[in-house]
Amino acid sequence: MEVRKYRSLVFDSTRWEGFAFRPDDIVITTPPKCGTTWTQMICALLVFQTPDLDRSLDLISPWLDMLTRDLESVRADLDAQTHRRFIKTHTPYDGLPHDPDVTYICVGRDPRDVFRSWDHHAENMDVMAVIVAREKAVGLDDVLDLLAQGPPPRAEHEIDRFWNWVDDTTPPTESMNLRQTLHHLQTFWDIRQQPNVVMVHYDDLQRDLEGEMCRLAARLGIDVREDLWPELVEAASFENMRAHADVIAPDTTHAIWNDNRSFFNRGCTGQWRDLLDESDLDRYHRRVAELGTPDLIAWAHQGATPVR
């Protein structure tokens, strides 16, 4: 299968080219705002079996594709790790190297909640801080034309921003929108029966965090002492992650958030209910039906993760 290239101002999937996997590596691969940091924290707790991390989560589990750090230093950090590695990416399966000995964890979420989280995320991000970090790490020569155009206009009303996100036809290789979210999930849904692919849903984490952590530990072949579970589950709670946002939120070293705690905004399911009425939902579901298979669409909106 041809490997697709995913690229934006912030990330470049070609940074995976030539990456040397270890047989027990874990790749956490999610569409943005689907529970990436939550899953990284859970993996950290399972791997280290303590909530006391010796450095920030984004250094333990780097986003390999992100352009705010030079690739050489990111790979050097990963090469130096002696524990089981777990690496973040927002690249779908068709843009990643495939290794049967690597475990791929794909995380999904109701796309309507993804939008609301993304909309807040965009407001909380200091774009100039991202650009400054990118310039220092990899330069800006490849995006000067894009920067000269400035950011796309942001609609005044949230409902208009929602429809812009839903109806955007930009290819998933170039933009974060509904199309990209469902495309990412579909690439893993289609191979979910493979023994090294694990599907996790945000709603299931909310409904039964301990159960999902136990399921993930079993899929990763990690044994956890029974007496450790209460402390680990508490450390993976939304409230705890928000309280420790300075070391758990991504890329805080470059101060890319206006408020680190606000990165963990609401963390709940059904945020869309006070935004969309019945006619909106009819329109939304017509659009969704164009973008994914019925079984994937049902899972993305409801969770209830399969046993595998």
| Residues marked as catalytic | 90
Report in angstroms the alpha-carbon separations of 250 from 37, 63, 156, 264, 283: 7, 9, 27, 11, 34
DSSP structural state of residue 102:
S
Residue 63 in contact with residue 134, Cβ under 8 Å? no
Please give the Cα distance from 135 to 75 (Å, whole number): 19
| Pairing label, strands 86-89, 26-29 | parallel
Report in angstroms the alpha-carbon separations of 130 from 60, 133, 247, 249: 20, 5, 18, 15
Q: Which long-range contacts (CB under 8 A, 24 or more apart) does 287-290 make?
A: 287/166, 287/167, 287/178, 288/111, 288/178, 288/182
Run of H or E residues at 44: helix 36-48
Please give the Cα distance from 81 to 12 (Å, whole number): 23
Run of H or E residues at 217: helix 209-220
